[in-house]
Amino acid sequence: MTSKSTIGEVLSSLDTVELLPEPDDRNILSAIDPSAVGFQDEWRAEITGWAPNKPTPINRVRGKRFLVTNSILFAIFAVLMLWIWQSGYFLIEVPPAKSEWAAEQAGFDDSILNGLTGEGVKVCIVDTGIDLSNPAFSGVSVEFKDMIGTSSTPVDYGFLAHGTLMAGLLIAQSHQIGMSPNVKLGVVAALGDDGSGQNTANEESVAMAINWCIDEFQADIISLSLGGTQNDGMSREGPSVSVTRKATDMGIYVVAAAGNDGGPDDDGRVSVPSNVPRAISVGASVKGGGVWDNSSMGQQTTLDGELRTNPNFKPEIIAPGQSIISTGVGDTWYSSSGTSDSTVFVTAALALILEDLPMLRPQSDSDGSCVDSVKEALRMSTPSGGNIHDSRSGYGELHAGNWLEEARKLPICQ
């Protein structure tokens, strides 16, 4: 028989894990160490956002000794509480968790941002799609493109609705309000559950999705909480890199996840297409500051051997990416960790800046100079004033208010 002290130790150990529903039976929860993220392979959103778990309260019963009299009193109390409960006079509803600390840490509570909601700014998310059944999306209008099936209405093909999670960080209208809730949102479903609990896609599909954001949706910002691997044997850039270059050279801002292969097996390169010089590559930080253990490291030379220059060292910035709460399917809220979440924080901050400074939005004759200027403002907004860059933490932690303050100093660009 297991001793009471042993049971207490086992229950205490559950405080450090996340509980992940099994793909075949969502009633079965597996204990997951949130610091253990597999090496990235192929194209999947999971390399930039660990599969989430529903943060429902877990009642833990600790072993205690009771005297006989205490047991009798407890029984009387239990009967009384049961009567109150059944009578309808007593009701407790535990609300879903929040991660508002993350928005505060990223500088979204700065007074300079008061009144800014992303109004009029067009943001395009390429992911697993979006499920609008969560009440937090009530009244939200989304322009949707299906690259996987033929749906004309929004749908999420992902394992635990990865795209829905990312969209909620941006536009949720209740419980935990999105950081730029009034943007004009376009969503492309280009990744889907491959049956093994991973969200995958081929690179050509991702490239086609980015092209849709450029040509059809006419995005101001393209947000990519996804990525693929690089290797030194690549002889040419892939289609996702080419179309990302096209976007940034047209003055469209591309914010992309750095990847989650950090740690001892880190290949030393951020994910594709966040490696594109003008793209903003985003790593993940933890509560209180510092780099998340699995956030990918950047290398300051390109695959063709060219040295990177300011403000394009990789990654450029880190933003909150550990245990971030966001929207699930239906009336559910999930938590996830990874540079997927971090990417949306930077996208949201940029949307507020483009609302405040509409002259920085892409125009028909834009040549990418505004992208360069806004990235320089991002670099200067960090604690070191952009004078320090690290291959894991970039120029430093995102502060949305400071970024806007620096952007307001920018000369006219086109």
Task: Determine how β-strand 199-200 pairs with β-strand 192-193.
Answer: antiparallel
pLDDT at site 71: 66
What DSSP character marks residue 54? -
Q: Cα 130 from chain centroid?
A: 14
| Listed range (52-66, 135-149, 279-293, 304-318) with the worst mean pLDDT | 52-66
Write the burial class of residue 358 (CB in 10 Å: 0-12 exposed, 13-18 middle, 19+ buried).
exposed
Region 240-268: mean pLDDT is 92
pTM flag (> 0.75): yes
- CATH number assigned to the domain comprising residue 313: 3.40.50.200
**How many Å apart are CA 276 and CA 256, to the nearest integer?**
10
Does 175 reside within a domain?
Answer: yes
Q: Looking at this protein, which amino acid is placed at residue 376?
A: E
Residues with Cβ within 8 Å of 100's Cβ and at least 6 positions away in sequence, in order, are 176
Residues with Cβ within 8 Å of 165's Cβ and at least 6 positions away in sequence, in order, are 49, 52, 326, 327, 328, 334, 336, 340, 341
The answer to whether the beta carbons of residues 125 and 225 sit under 8 Å apart is: yes
Apex CA 340: angle with CA 336 and CA 342, to 5°?
Answer: 90
Does 26 reside within a domain?
Answer: no
Helix (H) or strand (E) holding 193: strand 192-193
**234 pLDDT higher than 80:** no
**How many Å apart are CA 412 and CA 366, to the nearest integer?**
12
| Listed range (184-193, 249-258, 260-269, 379-388) with the worst mean pLDDT | 260-269
pLDDT tens figures, 351-368: 999 999 999 999 988 889
Does 91 reside within a domain?
Answer: no
Apex CA 224: angle with CA 266 and CA 299, to 5°?
Answer: 30
Domain that holds residue 245: 100-407
The chain-wide mean pLDDT, for the chain, equals 83
Give the tokens for residue 311.
């403000």
Helix (H) or strand (E) holding 256: strand 253-257
**59 pLDDT higher than 50:** no
User: Residue 394: helix, strand or coil by DSSP?
Assistant: strand
Overall domain count for the chain: 1
Does 49 reside within a domain?
Answer: no
pLDDT at site 266: 83
Region 31-47: mean pLDDT is 42
Does 412 reside within a domain?
Answer: no
| Residue that is written with structure tokens 């309260």 in the block | 57
Does 384 reside within a domain?
Answer: yes
| pLDDT class of 236 with cuts at 50, 70, 90 | low
Among 246, 266, 228, CA closest to 368: 246
pLDDT tens figures, 295-346: 999 989 887 788 999 999 999 999 999 999 999 999 999 999 999 999 999 9
**How many Å apart are CA 300 and CA 151, to the nearest integer?**
42
pLDDT at site 365: 87
Does 85 reside within a domain?
Answer: no
Q: Which residues of 135-171 are buried (b: 16+ CB within 10 A; e: fewer)?
A: ebbeebebebbbbbeeeeebbbbbbbbbbbbbbbbbb
Bridge partners for 208 per DSSP:
none
Region 223-229: mean pLDDT is 88
Does 262 reside within a domain?
Answer: yes
The answer to whether the beta carbons of residues 332 and 134 sit under 8 Å apart is: yes
